[in-house]
Structure formats: structure tokens, C-alpha cells
Amino acid sequence: MEPNILTGSFQLMKSLNRSVILNTIRKKGGISRADIAKTTKLTPPTVSNLVKELLETEMIIETSLGVSSGGRKPTLLTLNSDMFHVIGLDIGSHHLKIILTDINGRIRKKQIHPIPDSITNEGLLDLMITSIYAIQKNEQIDRNKIIGIGIGMHGIVDVDQGVSVFAPNLKLKNIGIKDALEKEFQMVVQIENDARAMSLGELWFGNGHGDDSIVCINVGRGIGAGIIINGQVFRGEHYISGEIGHMAIDLNGPKCTCGNYGCLQTFASGPAIVESLKKELKLGESSILSNKENEIDGEVIYQAALAGDLLSKNILNKAGRYLGVGVTNLIHTVNPKRIVISGGVSNAKEFILESVKKTIEQRALTDSAKQTEVIISKFGADATVMGAIALILAQLFATPGNT
Amino acid sequence: MEPNILTGSFQLMKSLNRSVILNTIRKKGGISRADIAKTTKLTPPTVSNLVKELLETEMIIETSLGVSSGGRKPTLLTLNSDMFHVIGLDIGSHHLKIILTDINGRIRKKQIHPIPDSITNEGLLDLMITSIYAIQKNEQIDRNKIIGIGIGMHGIVDVDQGVSVFAPNLKLKNIGIKDALEKEFQMVVQIENDARAMSLGELWFGNGHGDDSIVCINVGRGIGAGIIINGQVFRGEHYISGEIGHMAIDLNGPKCTCGNYGCLQTFASGPAIVESLKKELKLGESSILSNKENEIDGEVIYQAALAGDLLSKNILNKAGRYLGVGVTNLIHTVNPKRIVISGGVSNAKEFILESVKKTIEQRALTDSAKQTEVIISKFGADATVMGAIALILAQLFATPGNT
DNA sequence: GTTAATTAAATATAATTATAAACTATAATG
DNA sequence: CATTATAGTTTATAATTATATTTAATTAAC
């Protein structure tokens, strides 16, 4: 069947305006009815009526009176952030991270649970359910004031069905997460690929407020990108948009786990960096890591580089240059306003970011493309779980018609 | 200043519904008021009122009576395609092609003008203006029933300003096309990059009716892609989305005109194919083109391949494989539903398409990605000019709010 | 061939919501 | 303390869609 066509009706008109007002309050935070009318170009009575309704739902509250510039003092309105809460999960390769936030995304509680090796679908679902109960324990929070549960998950995710189709790092397939959690908790549940969740988190909580187009690149065990266009997560036809880890950049390069040669993640992922360094050590390069081959992981290399180890620095720089090639390809394809780099490898920002930028400067076609903003995520290891929160908030504050 | 926020109002409600009805008539072609009400879920009186208005504007007409299935015969409505017309231009490297169509995109007249070498900005604008006058000559068409002029142009185009920022093949910069033509003709003028125009044309007139996500790849002197997401042309932040000709796929590959190495268009563009064949000839490969080095161009190679020349076939196949690598990178980034290949090189479809498909089959990550539809444009050399028409039609039939 | 049922379209009335204009409340200013 | 500026509310009105009813035109059944 055709999807429902969006037609104009009184309900649409009203819900659109209510949403516009709610979002204005969210963005400006502490704004009077009169100012809402000015910025939205709605008339004062319309604003007053809808604000009254929003006050009744307790989504917003009247706070202090503002300062007057000659006339009645404005009554300032803000989101009622103490009332409503959101739960976010980040399902990684070894750990499940869960947070509880208010609707401004301020973290109230954070917990981490290890994920046992060779876990089953049912085991993972059980772990998720118990962790969701656990984080609510001893919290003075009305259960039906929890708006929803957002989940960021690596691998391929069918957002509409709410299924983790393939989670390679856990070796699991077809986990029916949404159905299971909705049945258990009777609230909104939304699951999304980790890089895409991150990118939405970056849009909501990062510097990129608004309707921008941004790309968030998650560089860790693999490399994945989340693409935001006009403020909407872009998923592609089969939920594999942004799978840039397997972008071919050097057809004569090393063999990748996918079977092809020269994929981006054979150069710039965490494992690739470790391999690259080990190989140099075997070739006899001198380094402070020379006799510690078994202890080497990404963090160790980063610390060595910080301590001044030239080989470690060079290896990280090289990874940055390759990442820059991939990023430039993305700029020439998606041409976003801003690119945010996150994930484990982005920890080594001092040694990565500059070489990414230099590579873009060198390779990008036009001056404007060269000036594409490239930053490191400010959320560090919390990027995915904040993105999971953003999934629910994006839905809560969505404008009618913009699915 | 902030862009205007979209708020609900009676005008919006009405114009949304009018647009929904108009588009329903356009898509279904020959549909009764009652059926419109059913498919749109608008009520019959609403439909009747808006249909009355649309009849008054002469945008639609009542045609025959349909067949009854027990009851009054339905009055069928269609677009009044004989009344309104659109002009489309394709500004290529050597020729200006111009067509006049009705609002169903049916071509009424087509003309081609050569573009002199070393033309100036003013010269090109003059040529455009005279060609637009010329195509209207001897046509029984009401001047103010021409809806607009669409222009597809290679290079980088600033759609909002209506300026061709950089047209490398004509060696021109900053041609203020929109302003000049709007001043001369007082009607809607829209200019767009050729690949993006093509992609919109493919969406409107090709197999891909609807709100799909498709990518159209123009393989000629360069390689450019037009990306359509949710039925909207996607341009990127600096109008360079889809510039995949300079996607790095082989960092150790040949040097490109852009200064980098291993760009896609050093392998799969028209000039790259010609160079590649000439090189093989020099190396002594036998071919029916062996002593005709000066006559070789894309068309000659294609004809040779058709005539059974093995070298020509191999060269075209190889280009197809490289193109397939680029296309697979696109699938892993944008993940569209359908990919359409057009431009000069796509003429050699017998020798290109299969190797593109094989490469995707070999390299794509998931089964669903492997099944991405890849077709050759059915418009051939008319792809850009049909896209230019689509630019205007897309605007005419746009839903309010979806800019 | 008359009548009932069905479908299409128009019309009249009601309901919903935004808008405009008038009004009340409150504060700063001189 | 009057004047003026600003915030917010009330009332009346206008622009629409929605609902219910009516008219028209057919087909199908008896």
C-alpha cells in the first residue's frame, strides 16, 4: 500500500504550530510568549493558546519573570526537564553502556555492564532488560514520564523493524530488539546503527544545533559514517549508507576482511594501526614499544606517541592521511557542512586530526570544499550513547510531516 | 537572519491540499474527484472545491466520462498538457541543445546550436537568449503559458544565485545566467549541474517515478553523479555533492588533471578510455584500430568493439570494472535504490554495464547491496535536457514546505 | 419497465483554528 | 503621576476542512 499522503487539516495546522513553539522553547530556552510570536511569526493569541496546552501536558513550565524594557515583565518559558527522562543504550563489542538523562540530554546516571563472550540473542536481550530496570532503581522518576529507550548498536540495523540484522563483533544476527523491549516496558523504543546514532547526537548536543548536514565518522575496530541531511538521519535503501570502512581507496592495497583489497579500514582503523606498527617493529624500526609487542593496542600506541615515540607518531599520522583520503572522497560525494570524527582512534586526536586536515587541503577540489569543518567529537566514548538519547528526542521534537 | 519557520496556517493547509490533488491527477492521469478523495483521504467536498479552482487556472481539464460500476459515471480529470509548456537547455562543451515540451515532458520541438570555441560569458548568454527566442518561433503558444526555463550545465553551479560558478570545458567562470534570462524573459529560470539535472529527469520521466532515492552517474569527459534523496535533488553544502570523478580509488594510480593520483576519472571517463587504448596500441597490441591512431575517439572505439575488436572490448570492459568500483563505493556511502548510468560512455552499454554489475556483485558488502538496480539511462544524449525540463516541473508540482 | 441499490458530485451546515483588533496588566521613564 | 512601551488575554471574525444531506446518474434485480 501507498504510504499515507500528508494532507492539510486542522489537526496538522495545530500540531505543526505546537511543534514549532515547543522547538522554539527548546532551542532558545527561557523565552516569553511575545518573543515566540516574534520569532515564529505566529500571532500572540495562537501562541498563548498552544502554550496553555503545553503547560497542561507539563512539557514546559513557566519559570522566572524576565527583565522588562519598559512594560509588563515577560513570563519566561522553558522545557520541564526535571519531569521527563530518556534512557540510552550503547551496545558495544564488550560492554553495554546505559544512561538516564533529562530531556535536555543531561546525564543523571550512567552504568556499564560487561557483555559475556559468545552471548546469544536471548542473553543480550536479557542483559538489556535487566540493565534498563537497574538504571531506574532508586530514582525518583515516574515510570510513565520516561519518554523512551534509544539504542545505538554496531553493524547493520533495520530501523523500521527494530532489528539488529547483523552485529559482526558479537557474532549475532537478527536480534528483535524493538519488539522485545516494547513488550517489556511499553514505551517507545528505537534502535539505530552506532555511527548514525552518533551523528544525530552530534547534531543535537554537539556544536551543530539546527538543520545542518553533518557527517560523523566512527573510527574504531571498523570505520562507519553517519550522514545527516537537513537534520534527518539518512539511512539509504538497505540501511547501509555510510559503510565507508569498505570504501576502496587503493585497489592494490592490502587485503581486507571483506575479501576485497585496499578498503579504507585496512589503513585507518584501530586494528590496522596496530598491525602497521607491529610490522614496522618486525622490520627493525626502533621505538619505545620495541620489546612489548604483546601489549600493543591503540591506547598503548597513543601513549607512546604522547611520550614522544617517533614511530608511533608516524604510524598515527599515516593513518590520519589515509583517513583524510576517505574523508575527501566523502566531501566529494556528500559534501557536508561539518565532519565529526569519533570512536576509539579519535582519542589520538593530536596525531590524527592535523593529517586529516592537511590531506583534505591537498586533495579537495574547490576552495570551499577545502574549508569543510573537521572536528573531533567532544563526547569521546559517550558519543554513541548520547546519540541513542538523541534518537528519542528527535522523535519527541519532530515536526509533523518530517518523518 | 534565520530562514522563515514553516508554521501552520489556512493558506498552508489549502495549498498543501491543492498540491496533493494536483499531483494525484498528474500521477494517476484520468482520475475522478471521488477517486482522488479516496486515495488522498481528503473529503469529497474539499476535493471538489480545490478541483474547481484548478479547473479555473486551466492547470487541469475535465476529459471523458469514465466507466461506471453501478452509478453515475465519474468525470475524469487530467493535466491540461496542451496549454502549458516548458523550455529546457543543455549547455554542453560544444553544443547548446534546447527543447520545448508540454507539462508531461513530451517534446514538441528540439534545436541544437554549436557553441563557438573560446566563447565569452556574454557570448554564451546571447546564444542562450537567441536560442530561446528561436524555439518559440512559429509555435502557437501563449507566451505567458510557458512555465519556465530549465538549464542543465556542466561544472559547478550555484543554484540559489543562479550562477555557473565554474564551467571547465568552456573555460568560463561566474556566468550570471539566472539574472540575465529572468530579466529578458520574465519567467522562472532554474539552472543546475548537468548530472543533478539528469538525475531529476530520470526520477520524473524514467522508470523511477515517485519519492525514491536514485543516483545518476554521468560518464563523459568527466564523471559526475546526481544524487536524489526522498525525491529531492541533494546538492551538498558547496554544490559539489556527487563530484565522484575525483574519488580516489587507487592511490598509486595515474595522475589526474586535478593533481592527485588514482581518481576515478583517470580510469573510466571517455578521455581515459581513449588514452588507455592508444597506450595499448603503442605497446603493440593488435587491433582493427592499429593504424588509425589519429581518428580514435569514444565512438570509434565503441564501433570497433561492436565489430568484434578484442582490444576495444577489453578496454571498455576494464573501464566498466573501474566504474564498478566507484559505483560500489557510492553504494556503500549513499546506498540508493537505483543507479542510472548516462553520458557519452554509457552509449557503449553492451561492454560497460555487465562489468559494472559484476564488480558490484563481487565487491558489495551485503546481499541487498549487491542487488542494487543498475541501469543505463533510456534518454541517451537527451538525458540532461530532459533533466532541465524536470527542474521546472519539480518546482511547479512541489509540495509546500518541501523546498 | 419499474424500483431499489449504488456511485458521483454538489450543497448546506458545523466544527476547528488562526488572525485581527481591542483590551487589560504591568513596568519604566520623565 | 501621567505617559508610553511591552506582555499577555479576550472577543469577534475569517478561512478552511469535515459532516451530513441532497441531487444526479447509472446499473441491477425483480
Residues in B touching A193 (Cβ below 8 Å): none
Cα A266 off chain centre by: 24
**Best of B25, B27, B237, B263 to mutate (most A CBs within 10 Å, chain A):** B237
Give residue A225's pLDDT band: very low, low, confident or very high (50, 70, 90): very high
SS3 of chain B: helix, strand, coil, percent, to 5? 45, 25, 35
Which CA-bearing residue is nearest the C1' of C15?
A10
B313: pLDDT strictly greater than 90: yes
Q: What is the pLDDT of residues A227-273, one digit of tens each?
A: 999 889 999 999 999 999 999 999 999 999 999 999 999 999 999 99
At residue A385, does pLDDT exceed 70?
yes
C-alpha B274/C-alpha B399 separation (Å) is 45
Place of cell 521546472: B392
Ramachandran region of residue A27, left (φ > 0), alpha (ψ -120 to 50) or beta?
A: alpha
Residues with CB under 7 A from strand C: A 10-11, 13-14, 17, 42-46, 49-50, 65, 67-73; B 7-10, 32-35, 44-45, 48, 51-52, 68-75
pLDDT at B403 over 80: no
In 3-state terms, what secondary structure has residue B62? strand
B284 to chain A nearest CA, in Å? 26
Nearest nucleotide, CA A35 to C1': D7
Contact B229 A225 (CB under 8 A): no
- Confidence band for A2, pLDDT divided at 50, 70 and 90: low
Return contacts of A36-39, CB within 8 angstroms, 24+ apart: A36/A77, A39/B2, A39/B5
Percentage of chain B surpassing pLDDT 90? 85
CATH topology of domain A214-377: Nucleotidyltransferase; domain 5 (3.30.420)
Any idea which nucleotide's C1' is nearest the CA of B46? D17
Phi, psi (rounded to 5 degrees) for A260: -90, 180
pLDDT of residue B381: 93
Strand D bases, protein C-beta under 7 A: 4-12, 15-20, 24-28
Residue B274's alpha-carbon distances to B293, B316, B346, B359, B380, in angstroms, are 10, 10, 14, 22, 20
Min distance A255 CA to chain B CA atoms (Å): 12
> What pLDDT does B212 receive?
80
Q: What is the pLDDT of residue A292?
A: 85
Are A155 and A167 within 8 A, CB to CB? Answer: yes
pLDDT for res B4:
79
Q: Return d(Cα A275, Cα A281) in angstroms, integer.
A: 10
C-alpha separations of A252 from A256, A271, B272, B325 in Å? 11, 19, 19, 13
Closest residue (CA to C1') to nucleotide C16 in the complex = A10
Q: Is the CB of A74 under 7 A from strand D?
A: yes
Nearest CA in chain A to B5: A40
- CA dist., res. A49 & res. A18, Å (int): 9
Taking contacts as CB-CB distances below 8 angstroms, the residues of chain B near A262 are 250-251
C-alpha to C-alpha distances, B15 to A123, B23, B81, B346, B403, nearest whole angstrom:
53, 12, 21, 41, 14
- Interface contact flag, B14 A20, Cβ < 8 Å: no
Q: Which residues of A touch B359 (CB under 8 A)?
A: none
Question: What is the average per-residue pLDDT within A323-338?
Answer: 97
Other beta carbons within 10 Å of B48: 14
Q: Do A237 and B337 touch (CB under 8 A)?
A: yes
Residue A365 CA to D19 C1' — how many Å? Answer: 60
CATH class of the A85-206+384-396 domain in this structure: alpha beta
Q: Is the CB of B44 under 7 A from strand D?
A: yes
Q: Tell me, what's the pLDDT at B1?
A: 46
Cell numbers linked to B170: 568552456
Q: Which residues pair with A229 in a beta bridge?
A: A232
Q: Which residues pair with A90 in a beta bridge?
A: A97, A152
Q: pLDDT per residue over B190-217, tens digit each?
A: 999 999 999 999 999 987 666 688 999 9
User: CA-CA distance, B329 to A242, in Å (whole number)?
Assistant: 10
Distance B72 CA to D30 C1' (A): 22
Interface with A, mutate which of B159, B238, B325 (most A CBs under 10 A): B238
In this prediction, residue B66 carries a pLDDT of: 75
Q: In whole angstroms, give the CA distance from residue A208 to residue A338.
A: 8
**CA–C1' distance B72–C6 (Å)?**
9
CB-strand contact B71/D, under 7 Å = yes
The answer to whether the Cβ–Cβ distance between A366 and B238 falls below 8 Å is yes
Q: Which residues of B touch A248 (CB under 8 A)?
A: 249, 325, 328-329, 363
Q: What is the pLDDT of residue A403?
A: 60
Instruction: With cut-offs at 50, 70 and 90, classify the pLDDT of residue A3.
Output: low
- Scanning every residue of chain B, which has its alpha carbon at the shortest distance from the alpha carbon of A40? B5
Average pLDDT value for residue range B385-393: 97
The C-alpha atoms of residue B76 and residue B105 are separated, in whole angstroms, by: 21
The whole-angstrom separation of Cα B148 and Cα B164 is 18
Total length of chain B: 403
Residue with cell 536560442: B131
Average pLDDT over residues A21-46: 93
Options 1.10.10.370, 3.40.1010.10, 3.40.50.11720, 1.10.10.10; CATH for A10-79 is 1.10.10.10
State how far the Cα of B299 lies from the Cα of A59, in Å rounded to an integer: 66
How far: A238 CA to C15 C1' (Å)? 44
Q: Which of residues 51-70 of B touch strand D (CB under 7 A)?
A: 65, 68-70
Give B6-33 pLDDT, tens digit per residue.
Answer: 999 999 999 999 999 999 999 888 899 9
Spatial distance between the Cα atoms of A301 and A313, rounded to a whole number of angstroms: 8
Half-sphere exposure of B75 (CA within 13 A, CB side): 8
Nucleotides of chain C touched by protein CB (<7 A):
5-12, 16-22, 25-29
The HSE-up count of residue B174 (CA atoms within 13 Å, CB side) is 0
Categorize the per-residue pLDDT at A376 as very low, low, confident or very high, splitting at 50, 70 and 90: very high
CA at A8, C1' at D5: how many angstroms apart? 39
- The whole-number average pLDDT for the span A145-168 is 96
Predicted confidence at residue A1, as pLDDT, reads 46
Report residue A401 CA to chain centroid gap: 23
- pLDDT value at residue A90: 98
Summarize the confidence of residues A128-139 as an average pLDDT.
Answer: 95
pLDDT in tens, B221-239: 999 999 999 889 999 999 9
- Cα Rg, chain A, nearest whole Å: 23
Fold agreement between B10-79 and B85-206+384-396: no
Domains in chain A: boundaries:
10-79, 85-206+384-396, 214-377
More confident call, B295 vs B121: B121
Nearest CA in chain A to B210: A2
Euclidean distance between the first and final Cα of chain A, in Å?
A: 17
Judging contacts by C-beta atoms under 8 Å, the chain B residues touching residue A195 are: none
Task: Give how far the C-alpha of residue A393 lies from the chain's centroid of Cα atoms, to the nearest Å.
Answer: 12
User: And the C-alpha cell for B221?
Assistant: 569527459
Specify the nucleotide whose C1' lies closest to residue B13 (CA): D16
Nearest C-alpha in B relative to A403: B230
pLDDT, tens digit, for every residue of B316-364?
999 999 999 999 999 999 999 999 999 999 999 999 999 999 999 999 9
Which residues, in sequence order, are bridge partners of residue B215?
B227, B339
CB contact under 8 A, A365 and B243: yes
Angle between helices B383-396 and B194-205 (to 10 degrees): 70
- Comparing CB atoms, the residue among B7, B235, B240 nearest residue A365 is B240
Dihedral over Cα of B377, B382, B385, B389: its sign: negative
Q: Model confidence at A140, in pLDDT bands (50, 70, 90)?
A: confident
Catalogue the long-range contacts made by B162-168 (C-beta closer than 8 Å, 24 or more residues apart): B162/B189, B162/B190, B162/B191, B163/B191, B164/B191, B165/B239, B166/A366, B167/B91, B168/B222
